[in-house]
Amino acid sequence: MANVILDKSKRGWWKSAVFYELYPKSFQDTTGSGVGDLRGILSRLDYLETLGIDAIWLCPICASPQVDNGYDISDFCAIDPMFGTMADMEELIAESGKRGIGILIDLTLNHTSNQHVWFREALKSRDNPYHDYYVWRDGTPDVPPNDMRATFGGSAWTYVPELGQWYFHQFAVEQPDLNWENPMLRRELYDVIRFWVSKGVAGFRLDVIDQIAKDPDRKITANGPRLHEYFRELSREALLEEGLVTVGEAWGADTQRARLYSAPDGSELSMVFQFEHIGLDQQPGKDKWDLAPLSLPKLKDCFRRWQQELYGTGWNSLFFNNHDLPRIVSRWGEDGKYRVESAKMLATMLHGMQGTPYIYQGEELGMTNIRLPLEQYQDLEIHNLFRERSAQGYDPQDVMESIWARGRDNARTPMQWTSGPNAGFTTGTPWLPVNENYRQINAEAALADPNSIFYYYQKLIALRKRVPEFRDGSFTLLCPEDEQVFAYTRDTDGGHMLVVCNFSGTEAAFEIPEAFRNAEVLITNYESEAEILRPYEAKILHYKKI
């Protein structure tokens, strides 16, 4: 089936699209450095074209000391030499464009690296014009302005003795928060956006964007009072070209807020990443390291709400994975005997919904989590967690269990291309170990197997463009209390679609509604038919109104 190429200059093209999140550091190395690079991505564009995706969300490639893998940017308009040059980037945008693939740049507009020239200037004196680009409070070295904690551990305030002031950082010490109240700063950031628009990008993924309007005196991080005002200004000032897509990372979004962020008039953003579903398997009120079993009825209710409450009034992004999250097949599927079936089932459940689906690199291969000894992990969050929890008296074994289940490096292991050395990722030493299972799980094997997870995703992507119910259908949840089956319908005036997924590793009963008895099977992960749903069985049925 030929790929349908969407016209990216048209408003709303992304509503029929499927996006692919690419983590450059782990995608393809061409220099033997052990770190992926832009030329590596160029060399794999045919693979992405075969998959059929419409756009790539490229994790940060801007100049950075890499304290937080590029989410600490020191120059928004330069390419980190580790990844290549601006000429490579221009070639990547052009070559992707030829294949109908748009590029989204990942920008951290909430903070910079402490090596950014603005911060280095800000440190020079209180009256330096750049000083007010950051968030400062006067004080003495022993008492921080308040007890706010940084996401990666420790206080959210760091003291600068030369200035007699504390600066605010929601993440690492090396990631000082920007002060969006300063109009000069905002103008500089809009210039950054315009710079990348002039390079021909299709849009932006905006890192922790709901935290820009912070008010640390009132301990407000997400959803500050001026947030919508900033979004509207950004959209008005910098996103002038029709068709640009923006996806904002918004951990604090509920459906009401998301409706504003993604309002159909385009006054704010195109869509946000919200994380409500992602938090359902942790202990209430605790953080992601405190594991709890997933309740399927709760997961279903969560998706139902997002699907129904944004219908016609906003737009969902659909994802299970990203570079901060564990691999979904290991998390809510089964990464042993039923790895293939469960990976396909999870894809069916998600891609059947309304919104823009995001595939995270390797998800289309069913890549799994990894278990490494502590010293082999690279992520600062993992090491900070281990230090903090050990000091608090946690059993180190329990802390490792949490890291194996939730650590961000699970998603960041190198892409598995072949069964050859280092999975074909590098000829050098990979910056993070390759998962041992690469001999079985790799792109080469997937491309040679017509029943692979890869081709299942390819089919789902093509269906989204062919069958209008994927994009437009209203959502109705069936059997909300069922502990095994996730089933729903998508209905338009012209047709009806039924998605049925057995979310468990045992057989499950589900009665196909009368109206769908003779419907076309658009996709399924079992070849033969059966009365009962087999482990992780999934299917999508469809009929048109006559």
Rounded Cα gap, residues 403 and 397, in angstroms: 10
Rounded Cα gap, residues 464 and 274, in angstroms: 22
Rounded Cα gap, residues 410 and 509, in angstroms: 34
Closer to ligand GLC by Cβ: residue 70 or 473: 70
Sketch the per residue contact string, 311 through 350, with ligand GLC: x for CB under 6 A, - otherwise.
------------xx--------------------------
Among 19, 27, 71, 204, binds ligand GLC (CB under 6 A): 71
| 98 Cβ neighbours under 8 A, 6+ residues apart | none
Closer to ligand GLC by Cβ: residue 249 or 537: 249
Residue 207 is a binding residue for ligand GLC (CB under 6 A) = yes
Residue 108 is a binding residue for ligand GLC (CB under 6 A) = yes
Residue 322 amino acid letter: N
Closer to ligand GLC by Cβ: residue 52 or 153: 153
Closer to ligand GLC by Cβ: residue 151 or 307: 151
Rounded Cα gap, residues 540 and 498, in angstroms: 6
Q: Are 166 and 157 in contact (CB under 8 A)?
A: yes
Closer to ligand GLC by Cβ: residue 186 or 323: 323
Residue 364 is a binding residue for ligand GLC (CB under 6 A) = no
Among 130, 134, 171, 486, binds ligand GLC (CB under 6 A): 171
Q: Which residue has the tokens 């782990």?
A: 26
Closer to ligand GLC by Cβ: residue 171 or 456: 171
The catalytically annotated residue of 21, 37, 72, 249 is 249
Closest separation between CB of residue 316 and ligand GLC, Å? 18
Among 206, 208, 345, 372, binds ligand GLC (CB under 6 A): 208
| 41 Cβ neighbours under 8 A, 6+ residues apart | 22, 24, 27, 28, 56, 58, 92
Which of positions 501-520 make contact with ligand GLC (CB under 6 A)? none
Closest separation between CB of residue 37 and ligand GLC, Å? 19
Give start and end residues of each alpha helix (H) in 205-355: 227-238, 255-261, 296-309, 328-331, 339-351
Closest separation between CB of residue 323 and ligand GLC, Å? 6
Closest separation between CB of residue 239 and ligand GLC, Å? 21
Identify whether 249 is a catalytic site residue.
Answer: yes
Sketch the per residue contact string, 21 through 60, with ligand GLC: x for CB under 6 A, - otherwise.
----------------------------------------
Identify whether 207 is a catalytic site residue.
Answer: yes
Closer to ligand GLC by Cβ: residue 377 or 503: 377
Q: Which of 297, 346, 293 is nearest to 319 (CA)?
A: 346
Closer to ligand GLC by Cβ: residue 223 or 308: 223
Which helix (H) or strand (E) segment is 165 a member of?
strand 165-168
Closest separation between CB of residue 1 and ligand GLC, Å? 33
Q: Which residue is nearest to ligand GLC (CB)?
A: 71
Q: Are 70 and 23 in contact (CB under 8 A)?
A: no
Q: What is the DSSP string of 383-436?
A: HHHHHHHHHTT--HHHHHHHHHHH-THHHHSPP---SSGGGGS-SS--SSPPPG
How many chain residues touch ligand GLC (CB under 6 A)? Answer: 9
Q: Are 101 and 49 in contact (CB under 8 A)?
A: yes
Closest separation between CB of residue 211 and ligand GLC, Å? 9
Which of positions 422-481 make contact with ligand GLC (CB under 6 A)? none
Kind of pairing, strands 271-273 and 245-249? parallel
Q: Give the burial string for 492-518 (b: 16+ CB within 10 Å, else e).
A: beebbbbbbbbbbbeebebeeeeebee
Q: Are 229 and 131 in contact (CB under 8 A)?
A: no
The catalytically annotated residue of 68, 207, 379, 537 is 207
Question: Residue 376: exposed, middle, or buried by beta-carbon count in 10 A (0-12, 13-18, 19+)?
Answer: exposed
Question: Residue 29: exposed, middle, or buried by beta-carbon count in 10 A (0-12, 13-18, 19+)?
Answer: buried
Residue 210 is a binding residue for ligand GLC (CB under 6 A) = no
Kind of pairing, strands 75-79 and 62-63? antiparallel
Closest separation between CB of residue 219 and ligand GLC, Å? 19
Closest separation between CB of residue 116 and ligand GLC, Å? 13
Among 21, 37, 54, 68, binds ligand GLC (CB under 6 A): 68
Rounded Cα gap, residues 430 and 310, in angstroms: 42
Sketch the per residue contact string, 235 through 264, with ligand GLC: x for CB under 6 A, - otherwise.
--------------x---------------
Chain residues in the site for ligand GLC (CB under 6 A): 68, 71, 108, 171, 207-208, 249, 323-324
Q: Give the catalytic positions in this structure.
A: 207, 249
